[in-house]
Amino acid sequence: MFFPLGRPAPCIDSPHTMGILGFLSKEGRERRNLERNVGRAVNKYAQSPDRYKALQSLIEEGSPDAIYGALRRFGMMYDKSIEDEQEKEWLFDALLEKGAAIIPQVERYLQSADSISWPLRLLSKVAGKEHELEVLKRILDQHEPGYERDPTKKIQLLNHLAASKESGAPGMVVPYLDDMDEGVRYAAAEALVRLGNQDIARDPLIAHFIAESEESLRVRLQIAEGLADRGWLVKSHRPAFDKKLPDQFTIDREGRLKKKAAPT
């Protein structure tokens, strides 16, 4: 290589030269290609075929960063809802074929994303129930009961736990009866009723129903309907319960909530 007189040849160990070499290296090219594919995959203004092609490339590459980049497509909403749903269904099926190997990337995405309904579905398919519950607990630990500007993620997690058959799920849900957000409290009450573990759920539900701190009629109605549907006894809390009981419910002699018949 020729260098002009009076100028020293650049040192190949200099940061500038190493940066150029890194840019031109195989690793550098692969990194740029990965970034381009991720960019196309989550670009709502790109054509659908271009996003498919980018997602296909990410799936085929299969590296942790590529899988994580593909998962980011679940967080992007395309203006054409039918195509948006089709792309996500395709991606879901493609990732499902990867099996348990993608669990770390799914957890990484669950930790970072705001909307997580699709990745939660994916997790339930690729992880065993016990492993799934461990992942969900780690995610919930980052979203403890209390104030959160956007509680959507908490609600999605609680709704997902409501469908779980694992014995540890109700205990994870109970603390969210005391969340600051009404929607979170409602989702927690609904989940506990659906999970149906009387030993864990009944007393916290009753305690929350009679608590002066609960000002939401919607939450109280959800609890009352759940206790009535499950047939769980409330007689030991009778005086306080009577005071808060909505008009459409009554308590029978055995101490169970009943819905009043609609007037004819």
Which two tokens mark 129?
């129930």
The answer to whether residues 226 and 190 touch, using CB atoms and an 8 Å cutoff, is yes
Does some domain include residue 194?
Answer: yes
CATH number of the domain that 228 lies in?
Answer: 1.25.10.10
Kindly report, residue by residue over 230-241, the tens digit of the pLDDT: 999 998 888 888
Do 175 and 243 reside in the same domain of the chain? yes
**Structure tokens, 232:** 């769980």
Written as six digits, the tokens of 103 are 């669990």
Same domain, residue pair 253 and 157: yes
CB atoms within 10 A of CB 152: 15
Residues 56 and 131 in one domain: no
- Regarding whether 257 and 169 lie in a shared domain, the answer is yes
Residue 2: its pLDDT value, please? Answer: 44
**Quick check: pTM over 0.75?**
yes
The SS3 assignment for 165 reads coil
Instruction: Please tell me whether residues 213 and 121 are part of one structural domain.
Output: no
Q: What percentage of the chain exceeds 90 in pLDDT?
A: 73
Q: Is 11 exposed, middle or buried (0-12, 13-18, 19+ CB in 10 A)?
A: exposed
Instruction: Give residue 165's pLDDT.
Output: 80
Q: Taking all residues of the chain, what is their mean pLDDT, rounded to a whole number?
A: 89
Classify the phi-psi angles of 51: left when phi > 0, otherwise alpha if psi is within -120 to 50, otherwise beta. Answer: alpha
Q: State pLDDT tens for residues 177-198.
A: 999 999 999 999 999 999 999 9
169 occurs within a structural domain: yes
**Strand, helix or coil at 15?**
helix
Closest CA to 179 of 136, 222, 138, 208: 208
In a domain, 4, yes or no: no
Domain-located, residue 5: no
Looking at the structure, do residues 228 and 247 belong to the same domain, yes or no?
yes
16 pLDDT more than 80: no
Cβ contact 237:210 at 8 Å: yes
Mean pLDDT of 42-54: 93
Q: Does 127 reside within a domain?
A: yes
Supply the pLDDT for residue 242. 85
CA distance 160 to 223: 19
Domain shared by 160 and 250, yes or no: yes
69-113 pLDDT per residue, tens: 999 999 998 888 899 999 999 999 999 999 999 999 999 999 999
185 and 239 part of one domain: yes
Task: Give the pLDDT confidence of 247-258 residue by residue, as tens digits.
Answer: 899 999 899 999
In a domain, 24, yes or no: no
Number of domains in the chain: 3
Do 157 and 135 lie in one domain? The reply is no
Question: For residue 48, what are the domain limits?
Answer: 34-68
Tokens of 173: 């849900």
For residue 5, the model assigns a pLDDT of: 47
Beta bridge partners of 256: 233
Residue 89 lies in a domain: no
What value does the mean pLDDT take over residues 197-217? 95
Q: What mean pLDDT is predicted for residues 10-26?
A: 54
